[in-house]
Structure 1
Amino acid sequence: MKVRVTWVQPEDLVGHELRQAAEDGRDARAIARRWYEAGGAPAPERAGASTPAAPELRALAERLLDELALLESPLEAEEPTELTAIRAACPDWPAPRTDPPPVSQDRLHAAWLGRAAGCLLGKPVEKLPLAGIRALARATGNWPLATWFTAKGLPAELAATYPWNRRSAHTSLAENIDGMPEDDDLNHPLLTVLLLQRYGPSFTTCDLARLWLDELPAGRTFTAERVAYRNLLDGIEPPHTARYRNPFREWIGALIRADVHGWTHPGDPSAAAEQAHRDAVLTHTANGVYGAMFTAAALAEAAGGESDVHGALAAGLRVVPARSRFAHAVRFGVGAARGENGFDAVADRLHAEYGDYHWVHVLPNAALLAAALTHADGDFSDSICRAVSGGWDTDSNGATAGSLAGLLAGSPNALPDRWTTPLKNRLATSVPGFDSIGFDALAGQTHRLTHKEALRP
């Protein structure tokens, strides 16, 4: 019996890279023709692997991936990856803070709880189409979405048509939640805490790579992170790990790693974005990197306690190249939210605009995140429910929305009990030293990271 590892097989990557080429303006029609004439498959819509290909296709896939890498994108000038070029493309880059405001441990506690609750809300419907999410929630009287998903009272035919995420259903429905189960959306913030404890705020991208090899099981990585991990094992060094045979380099993975960079720089979006950039370039380029920078800056602004949700989103946009597709997606999401009373109509507009992208790509998810937070106007429950009810990467969007809304709430006591009580102040993880840790303890560790004198130089 053969082991087929998802997200890294050359024959699976070609379809994704052809899709990426179409999105970033590279003319790959001749390469696509050769691939499909040889019997190659397009990118799978939702899974990490397509139907196993004929063995002889692997050698062709490797050649075509190398040829695709040589095609230049006409968007590269407006969507750079290097930090100096990004800053040059941001006319309103925020000034560094010499006297940043303090962030309380309570505020950080609320951020951790918010991230966990939003993630857990989205876990059972991850990968489901928007129509399925709506149908499942409506059938149990939970639409507009207001609380956890449940299988109780769900018609068998509907459950068969839209099955819950098989990895999550036994830990993330209302009837079986027992603490926060393991998820990469929580593992990566934990790794960032470990990164800062071990190397300090001046860590390098190579430090992060070393940490991953030491502490992160390869099987707990996905998409761009798994490709970068494979590249590291093959002896490829950062930042080339983000580009080599990595068609997922503009997906959402770097965005979900950005929270702690923002939380530990209250009121200083510039420093948060620069730190997030050093993290993101291990695995991502261009818009994938902007997702991390935008999120870190928005969270830093919220952590400072001096802005509302709209000010936080505006701060995030200031560290993103103004003419990039990412900036356009955020502006589109904000505009859609302001133009509709009901969030279903907002989500429909977003899916009409970005429905051709993969559900894990950063652009549709950034548009949805911005729309959900704008439409909720700072309310915690509305923020996570709107982010999840819009589909695409439901657990990641719920997590980031919960993180920012939790910061704005300012205290665990400000979050509704229905979201926090089932978490039981317990987080499961395979990150060493953190399994079963409480969110209050995590807040304490994160709070200590905001005191620069306590960090390694």
Structure 2
Amino acid sequence: MTTKYTYLPTVLDHEIAQRRVSGFDVSAIEKELANQSEITPALARELLTRLAELEAPEDWPYVEPSTLEGIQAELPASASTARLGLADLRDRLEAAWLGRSAGNCLGKPVEDGGRWNSESITVYLRRSGNYPINDYLRRLDPMPDGLELCDAWAESTKGRIKYVPRDDDLDYTLLGLHILQTHGFGYSTGDVAKEWLLRLPFHLTYSAERSTYRNLVNGVPAEECAVNDNPYREWSGAQMRGDIFGYVCAGRPRAAAMLSYPDASLTHVGNGIYAELWAAALVAASFTATSLRDAVLESFNHVPQRSRLAEALRWTLAVADSGVEWENAITQLLERYAQYHWRHAVPNAAVCALSLLYAEDDYTRAIGLAVQSGLDADTNGATAGSAAGAFSGRAGIPPHWTAPFGDTLRSGLAGFDRTSIRSLAEQTFALARASLTRAAPTTVVTTPATDPGTARAS
């Protein structure tokens, strides 16, 4: 029997988009597709092969390596480290877990950038009397014409929240904690792959993570999964996996960034990897920063400086410092990066940074602005929530965000459903203390993703 890989036409569509935003000339293949009445799996495979053979443009202005050595060569020196008292660290770790959970839950009903953008979210919020966001979204009855919340609304809208709803953004935080507990700070990309296959259900993976899972099951080596039939390799999936490394390296952003690399490189290249390094560094810096702005500024030092992500992050600072109101700033951001898919790492990390720059050190404002922006709303709410929670501590998170959870986090991971958030904070605290005594490494054991090019990711 001949296996027909029916997912390949979709992979082809996204691969064309990935190559286009990475500077490749895909016009010939797009023209050929326009003349086809049907895109069969066989044709998709042929065109994917041709896309992989395209030569990188000589005038590409960015340097975007995917190997650890290449990334380290592009990072500015950073000796930023600070320590917290143990009681303060324990408090802020629990606040980071709670802050991430609330930010994620807030964004779940509008987690679909194809249907819910900044404009439609704003319309909905105004109709419900919740703009700017100050509480969980409530479901309007009747719903406005043309608007429908995502299916998760039944357990993530005001009055219906009984626990932290299951979500991949939190499954990966749990899994990262388990990986560090099981394999230590010297864990490898292979260790990540092993734990995925043991504990992570395939049907609860998406985009780059699903492509990677499929590759692993089909026997593709871990070091090749990020670049084999994976057009989502620079999307925001790795960003959502970075926070746990920031938790255990609180106050040490470079250590957090480097610790996250073996995880990121299983599924992503280039800016996809950088988004996880950035998120880990941002969260680590937030534990000891004097302001959220300072945490954002520090996070810039842990992204390759000649990359598109670094350029986007610097732009957020420039627009924030220009004095324009938030609505103007987010409109500029969404227009500037409109060529990217709503789940691409570049605009989503930029949304998080911009939200924190405009948050005025307020937890509610941080997660509210991140979710109001649209794009990958629950991921951005979670990342902003981690950073703002770590910065604020438990006392800085208004209780209406966390009281409905009942100290219970739902999960799709084998053996982790209905976990106590306090227990997770305690386990993370133990790891954070261990990382201080053992000095979580600035070099790591890993099987890095293969670079599609010597100077940049495609």
TM above 0.5: yes
Q: In the alignment, is residue 322 of structure 1 matched against residue 305 of structure 2?
A: yes
Corresponding position of 1:207: 191
Asked whether the equivalents of residues 62 and 308 of structure 2 are also in contact (C-alpha less than 8 Å), the reply is no
For residue 109 of structure 1, report the CA deviation from its aligned partner.
0.2
Corresponding position of 1:37: 35
Corresponding position of 1:425: 407
Corresponding position of 1:384: 367
Q: In the alignment, is residue 413 of structure 1 matched against residue 395 of structure 2?
A: yes
Cα shift readout 1:175-206 (whole Å, capped 9, x = no counterpart): 21111110001000000011011100100001
For residue 68 of structure 1, report the CA deviation from its aligned partner.
1.0
For residue 102 of structure 1, report the CA deviation from its aligned partner.
5.5
Cα shift readout 1:209-228 (whole Å, capped 9, x = no counterpart): 01101111111110000001
Q: In the alignment, is residue 440 of structure 1 matched against residue 428 of structure 2?
A: no
Asked whether the equivalents of residues 242 and 284 of structure 1 are also in contact (C-alpha less than 8 Å), the reply is yes
Distance 1:87 1:118, change over 3 A: same
Residues 13-412 of structure 1 mapped to structure 2, 5 A cutoff: 13-39=11-37, 57-74=40-57, 75=60, 78-90=63-75, 92-95=76-79, 101=84, 104-127=89-112, 128-152=116-140, 154-156=141-143, 158=144, 160-166=145-151, 168-303=152-287, 305-410=288-393, 412=394
Q: Which moved more, 1:417-426 or 1:244-253?
A: 417-426
Distance 1:433 1:241, change over 3 A: same
Gaps of 5+ in 1: 41-52
- Structure with the bigger RCO (C-alpha within 8 Å, sep 6+) is 2
Distance 1:77 1:327, change over 3 A: closer
Q: What is the letter of the counterpart of residue 420 of structure 1?
A: T
Q: What is the letter of the counterpart of residue 219 of structure 1?
A: H
Asked whether the equivalents of residues 265 and 300 of structure 1 are also in contact (C-alpha less than 8 Å), the reply is yes
Asked whether the equivalents of residues 62 and 306 of structure 2 are also in contact (C-alpha less than 8 Å), the reply is no
- Provide the TM-score with structure 1 as the length reference: 0.89
- Describe the SS at the equivalent of 2:358: helix
Q: What is the letter of the counterpart of residue 60 of structure 1?
A: L
Asked whether the equivalents of residues 337 and 372 of structure 1 are also in contact (C-alpha less than 8 Å), the reply is no
Cα shift readout 1:69-123 (whole Å, capped 9, x = no counterpart): 2223344960111111112112x231385x8555621110000000000001111
- Describe the SS at the equivalent of 2:409: coil
Asked whether the equivalents of residues 225 and 283 of structure 1 are also in contact (C-alpha less than 8 Å), the reply is yes
For residue 295 of structure 1, report the CA deviation from its aligned partner.
0.9
Q: What is the letter of the counterpart of residue 416 of structure 1?
A: P
For residue 351 of structure 1, report the CA deviation from its aligned partner.
1.2
Distance 1:236 1:367, change over 3 A: same
For residue 162 of structure 1, report the CA deviation from its aligned partner.
1.1
Cα shift readout 1:406-446 (whole Å, capped 9, x = no counterpart): 00012x23310110111221111121332111211110011
- Describe the SS at the equivalent of 2:408: coil
Q: What is the letter of the counterpart of residue 270 of structure 2?
A: A
Q: What is the letter of the counterpart of residue 100 of structure 2?
A: R
Question: What is the identity percentage for the equivalent residue pairs of Structure 1 and Structure 2?
Answer: 36
- Describe the SS at the equivalent of 1:450: helix
Asked whether the equivalents of residues 334 and 367 of structure 1 are also in contact (C-alpha less than 8 Å), the reply is no
Distance 1:76 1:186 in 2: 36
For residue 130 of structure 1, report the CA deviation from its aligned partner.
2.0
Distance 1:171 1:73 in 2: 46
Distance 1:102 1:208, change over 3 A: farther
Cα shift readout 1:221-246 (whole Å, capped 9, x = no counterpart): 10000001111111111221000111
Asked whether the equivalents of residues 238 and 281 of structure 1 are also in contact (C-alpha less than 8 Å), the reply is no
Distance 2:109 2:375 in 1: 12
Distance 2:64 2:163 in 1: 41
Asked whether the equivalents of residues 265 and 271 of structure 1 are also in contact (C-alpha less than 8 Å), the reply is yes
Distance 1:444 1:271 in 2: 21
Distance 1:287 1:129 in 2: 23
Corresponding position of 2:451: none
Q: Which moved more, 1:430-439 or 1:219-228?
A: 430-439
Q: Which moved more, 1:105-114 or 1:31-40?
A: 31-40
Distance 1:337 1:118 in 2: 22
Cα shift readout 1:6-27 (whole Å, capped 9, x = no counterpart): xx81111111111111100112
Q: What is the letter of the counterpart of residue 442 of structure 1?
A: L
For residue 341 of structure 1, report the CA deviation from its aligned partner.
4.9
Distance 1:217 1:310, change over 3 A: same
Corresponding position of 1:45: none
For residue 339 of structure 1, report the CA deviation from its aligned partner.
2.8
Distance 2:135 2:413 in 1: 29
Question: How many aligned positions are there?
Answer: 429
Asked whether the equivalents of residues 289 and 391 of structure 2 are also in contact (C-alpha less than 8 Å), the reply is no
- Describe the SS at the equivalent of 2:249: coil
Distance 2:80 2:391 in 1: 21
For residue 358 of structure 1, report the CA deviation from its aligned partner.
0.9
For residue 39 of structure 1, report the CA deviation from its aligned partner.
3.1
Distance 1:172 1:228 in 2: 29
